[in-house]
Amino acid sequence: MKPVKIPIEDELDLHTFRPADISDLLFEYLSACIEEGIYSVRIIHGKGHGKLKKRVTSILQKDSRVSSYKNAPPEAGGWGATIVELKIVRR
């Protein structure tokens, strides 16, 4: 299967990805964001039963590049999305 090229923006919607791919996807996407100078990212995981949100937060907790994360404000998805603040890399 060919890799899917994702535009690097300040938002990543996980709905179209397999749960097994989320860990690698988040690592690579956040790396690309840092490379592009994007340090605030909204990750959309949906509300559902909360399993994907728990997986996302577990991954973020372990990532040393993450400064902080929190639920998105209501107008940006509320608890169905997570706002991630990345540590700024000076070049």
- Using CA atoms, how far apart are residues 18 and 73, in angstroms rounded to an integer? 26
Quick check: is 36 in a domain? yes
Which domain CATH number covers 76?
3.30.1370.110
pLDDT in tens, 8-31: 999 999 998 888 999 999 999 999
| 54, containing H or E segment | helix 51-62
Half-sphere exposure of 86 (CA within 13 A, CB side): 23
Contacts of 21 (CB under 8 A, 6+ apart): none
- Using CA atoms, how far apart are residues 14 and 64, in angstroms rounded to an integer? 21
> Taking the model in full, what pTM does it have?
0.89
**In the numeric block, which tokens belong to residue 37?**
């100078």
Quick check: is 6 in a domain? no
Residue 49 pLDDT: 86
Provide the domain count of the chain.
1
Enclosing domain of residue 37:
11-86
